């Protein structure tokens, strides 16, 4: 569960924006990665509940 937020924070546009905003606010690296991981889990949960496929444009 640690690698996915690292990759998302660097390569996914919306997650990168989110991580950059937290970084500018002075948050520590582990807090940023944890926040991105939580956001990914929330998105995955919503996709499972609604039975939809991942679309990067919707995030």
pTM assigned to the model: 0.84
Distance CA 55, CA 48 (A): 13
Tell me, what's the pLDDT at 58? Answer: 61
Tell me, what's the pLDDT at 57? Answer: 65
Tell me, what's the pLDDT at 37? Answer: 95
**Apex 2 CA angle, 15 and 27, nearest 5:** 55
Tell me, what's the pLDDT at 31? Answer: 96
Walking along the chain (59 residues) 10 residues at a time, the average pLDDT comes out as 87 93 96 95 92 74
Domain boundaries, given as residue ranges, for the chain: 3-52
Tell me, what's the pLDDT at 23? Answer: 96
């Amino acid at each position: 569960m640690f690698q996915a937020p690292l990759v998302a924070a660097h390569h996914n546009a919306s997650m990168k924006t989110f991580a950059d905003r937290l970084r500018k606010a002075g948050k520590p690296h582990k807090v940023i990665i944890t926040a991105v991981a939580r956001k990914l889990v929330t998105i995955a949960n919503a996709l499972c509940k609604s039975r939809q496929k991942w679309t990067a444009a919707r995030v």
